[in-house]
Amino acid sequence: MISHDLKQFRAEAHDFLLGQQMPLPTPAIARRLFGARRHEMPETQVVVRALLAADPRFVETHDHCWSVVGSPLLQKKLDEATFAIVDLETTGSVIGVDEIIEIGLVRVRAGKVIDRFETLVWSDRTIPPWVARLTGIANADLEGAPTFSDVAEQMLGLLRDSVFVAHDIRFDLPFLRWEFARRGLVRPVVTGLCTLELSRQLWPDLTSRSLPDLARSFGVAHDNPHRAADDAMATAGVLLEALAAARDLGLSELGDLYRLDEVLAEHAAATAGLAERAAESWSWLPSGRKKSPRRLTLHTTCYRMPINIEFDRTIGPLGWGFRSNRR
């Protein structure tokens, strides 16, 4: 492809996505750009991903769909968005073979839980011993429970107009979509957000990002790990911590959560520049009384980024010198 072709493809993809209400997966964009006969070819999808990933106007969501900066969805204010936090317990991890045996769902808006849903789900598939030990759910517990088809319509209603959130969205969202599809039901159209991915970006120094460890780190209640309702509530607690951290960075829109790496890099560069300039320019303050301490530290923020300003006793008659460093 020559440069002109690349610009043309990107322009067409941008205009196409700008007119969509929801982010679209790579194959849908490939179909638009290259036609129905070529859109499912692996190399075509690789080309589309490379085209979009290299252009800052395009935004990839955590469930690997694409939108554009300036789209109405990504401009939605975090305080106005509704988040549907979902956790599934299943008979195993193989989509198309294993089945859902428990669903937990929590809806959050403006920092508050506004709705909850939980149910066991009947399955005739034998629950493996390791799953029974992990969850405490046995096949006998599923007797009389509704089938997935029985609760599908209610699930669709709870997910409608919401951002789908899970801790490791690579599992829960594809599994849920498959359950709808294999029963011939309308699949939920949602945008995916992953608290596992948010934790990697916002708290890179944490040694573990498992849901129990994150809950423990933030004091979030999590009394029954590996049960859907408790896992969904714990994930909701982690999400609220992530949203608070995003606000501390000055972020206010849903799209900001999908470009955290870029935002954090910008903040790091700005803070590093501030610290470097402060370290290079010393100012002097009078020492005051003779019995003053040798070092004082002022904790403050600049552009919402925490910094320390250290005041050190200097050698000589000038008194105190100070410099600023990133906290």
Residue 112 belongs to domain with CATH number: 3.30.420.10
User: Structural domain of residue 284, as residue ranges?
Assistant: 273-326
Residue 108 lies in a domain: yes
In a domain, 48, yes or no: yes
User: Does residue 118 surpass a pLDDT of 90?
Assistant: yes
State whether 243 and 107 are in the same domain: yes
Statement to judge: residues 278 and 243 lie in one domain? no
CB neighbour class for 103 (10 Å; exposed up to 12, middle 13-18, buried from 19): buried
Regarding whether 105 and 239 lie in a shared domain, the answer is yes
Which of 23, 44, 68 corresponds to the end of one domain? 68
Domain boundary among 215, 248, 281: 248
At 81, the pLDDT band (50, 70, 90 cuts) reads: very high
Report the percentage of the chain scoring pLDDT > 90: 72
Confidence of residue 290 (pLDDT cuts 50, 70, 90): very low
231 Cβ neighbours under 8 A, 6+ residues apart: 87, 104, 167, 211, 222, 225
Answer whether 232's CB lies under 8 Å from 105's CB.
yes
Tens digit of each residue's pLDDT (9 = 90 or more) over 214-240: 999 999 999 999 999 999 999 999 999
164 & 215 share domain = yes
Contacts of 101 (CB under 8 A, 6+ apart): 89, 90, 91, 120, 121, 123, 127, 135, 137, 142
**CA dihedral for 307, 313, 314, 318, sign (positive or negative):** positive
Mean pLDDT of the chain: 86
- For the entire predicted model, the pTM comes to 0.81
Report pLDDT for 226: 96
Distance CA 112, CA 289 (A): 51
Instruction: For residue 186, tell me if it sits in a domain.
Output: yes
Q: Is residue 126 part of a domain?
A: yes
Q: So what's the pLDDT on residue 97? A: 94
DSSP assignment, residue 144?
A: T
Length of the chain: 327
Across residues 135-139, what is the average pLDDT? 97
268 lies in some domain: no
- Furthest CA-CA distance within the chain: 85
DSSP letter at 46 equals H
108 and 146 housed in the same domain = yes
Q: Are residues 116 and 40 in the same domain?
A: no
Q: What are phi and psi of 131, to 5 degrees?
A: -70, -40
14 plus 128 within the same structural domain? no
Residue 237 falls within a domain, yes or no? yes
DSSP 70: T
Mark whether 58 and 118 lie in a shared domain: no
Same-domain status, 90 and 221: yes
CA–CA separation, 218 vs 109, rounded Å?
Answer: 20
Q: What is the pLDDT of residue 148?
A: 97
Residue 265 lies in a domain: no
Q: Do 21 and 167 reside in the same domain of the chain?
A: no
Residues 16 and 160 in one domain: no
- 255 falls within a domain: no
Spell out the residues 6+ positions from residue 272 whose beta carbon is closer than 8 angstroms to its own: 326
The number of folded domains in the chain is 3
